[in-house]
A = this chain, B = another copy of it.
Amino acid sequence: MKKYLMKGNEAIAEAAIRANCRHYFGYPITPSTEIIEYMATKMAKVGGTFVQAESEVAAIYMVFGSAGSGKRVMTASSSTGISLKQEGLSYMAANELPAVVVNIMRTGPGLGGLGPSQADYFQATKGGGHGDYRLIVLAPSSVQEMADFIIDGFDLADIHRNPVMILADGVLGQMMEPVTFKEYEPIAVDKSWATTGAEGRERNVISSYNLQNEAGETKALYLEEKYRKMAEAEQRWESYLMADAEYAFVAYGTSARIVKGAVEELREKGMKVGMIRPITLWPFPKNAFTPYFNQIKGYMVVEMSAGQMIEDVKLTVNGIAPVEFYSRQGGITPQHKEIIEKFEAVFCTQGVFA
């Protein structure tokens, strides 16, 4: 297969086109701008539709409209722009509309800075919008995964009729790595629910309004069960050197790339450490942890935030072993050395490992 040297943001855009995404609506914001630029240029060439919308709010509702007509559609933004889309995302989940939404995180809160961050984990996984709903959240940690997860994301969105978020950061978005694009094989999906003109059939209606509380509860229970099944079926993760590990790091995305190096250095020092890398942030991959419950003496979560995923790790571990934390913030990435020092300070009794 042909190899391309591309930025992560470009790989995302190219992969979307190869996954038959022909509608893109967005608004430019650093560090996600290469995605909209790529789409602005390429969509016309493949006969697609591209609109730079008036605002982030307008963009997400154009995505809503296209998704409602059964088209593969994508948008991308960064942190502050994604906040503006929260109402739309809640509406899309409520209406079971498939789409791929990319968040190339920058630092926050507020205007923040352009550096990389992982501080939108809560927003992505707990639902930044109102009501009980869930997005499938995929966290790539390489340019190759950015391409792959876009293609997977469109399929998952169609299969579950649910928005899928790709959660990455500016390091991954700007990084150039070799990438190959797998031949996309269209999946069979029934989109008979889509509003496509109603010629020769009953009208389809897309609405999340429930005037009667009973209907509202029926809908809520339906969604709850749908999310339960998705949570069961779609957990994804990478286990790294976990077979004999006594201590486990937990990290995703850019942090996981760095932690992997720290794990290797600690192994060289003789320490039995491994890493669980959640790939789906929602559903959180609890199944990645259960096989090691009797084996792991302590966990260390590494995030570029004040501590968000750590809550899901604690909820999973549920008090069986301590869950520690290391982070850098404000656009600064953690370093091997720091991670190792923190690990040793927390878990290594005097003389044993030191």
Contact = CB atoms under 8 A, between A and B. Distances in A.
A50 to B, nearest CB: 9
A214 B119 CA distance: 16
Contact of A94 (B111, B127, B133, B329): B111
Nearest to A94: B110
Interface string A105-121: 10111111111010110
Looking at chain A's contact residues, the main secondary structure is mixed
B129 A117 contact: no
A86 B314 CA distance: 26
Contacts of A84: 57, 84, 86-87
Sorted nearest first, the 10 A-B pairs with minimum C-beta distance are A108-B131, A94-B110, A216-B330, A110-B208, A319-B319, A109-B131, A217-B330, A213-B331, A220-B329, A83-B87
Contacts of A213: 107, 113, 115, 330-332
Given A54-B58, A314-B318, 19 more contacts: A54-B61, A83-B130, A86-B129, A91-B109, A94-B109, A107-B213, A107-B220, A109-B131, A111-B209, A113-B215, A122-B127, A128-B130, A210-B330, A213-B330, A213-B331, A217-B328, A217-B331, A218-B330, A318-B318
Most buried by B among A54, A84, A109, A115: A109
Interface stretch (A232-240, A272-280, A303-311): A303-311
Contacts of A221: 329-330
A82 interface: yes
Nearest to A81: B87
Interface of A: 41, 44, 47, 49, 51-55, 57-58, 61-62, 65, 69, 79-84, 86-87, 90-95, 105, 107-115, 117, 119-120, 122-123, 126-133, 196-197, 207-221, 223-224, 227, 305-306, 308, 311, 314-315, 318-320, 328-332
